[in-house]
Amino acid sequence: MTRGARRCDREDDVRMLVARTAADLASDPALEAHVAGCPACQDTLAIATWMRHLAAASISDAPLPDPAYLWWKAELLRRWDARQRAEAPLEVGERVQAGAGLSVAAALLVWLWRELPGAVSAPSMTLVTIAGAMCLVAAAAVMARAFRH
Say what the pLDDT of residue 33 is.
83
> How far apart, in whole angstroms, are the C-alpha atoms of residue 79 and residue 85?
10
Say what the pLDDT of residue 120 is.
56
Say what the pLDDT of residue 3 is.
47
Say what the pLDDT of residue 23 is.
57
**Ordered per-residue pLDDT tens for the chain, 149 residues:** 444 547 888 888 888 877 776 555 566 778 888 888 888 888 888 888 888 888 877 777 778 889 999 999 999 999 999 999 999 999 888 888 888 888 888 888 788 777 766 655 667 767 777 888 888 888 888 888 877 76
> How far apart, in whole angstroms, are the C-alpha atoms of residue 53 and residue 145?
51
CA 41 distance to own-chain centroid: 37
Say what the pLDDT of residue 119 is.
57
Dihedral angle at the C-alpha atoms of 65, 67, 70, 72, nearest 10 degrees? -140
Say what the pLDDT of residue 111 is.
80
| DSSP notation for 17-62 | HHHH-TTHHHH-HHHHHHHHH-HHHHHHHHHHHHHHHHHHSPPP-P
> How far apart, in whole angstroms, are the C-alpha atoms of residue 56 and residue 52?
6
Q: Which amino acid is at 81?
A: D
> How far apart, in whole angstroms, are the C-alpha atoms of residue 149 and residue 146?
6
Task: Output the pTM of the full model.
Answer: 0.39
Angle 32-33-38 (CA atoms, 0-180°, nearest 5)? 95
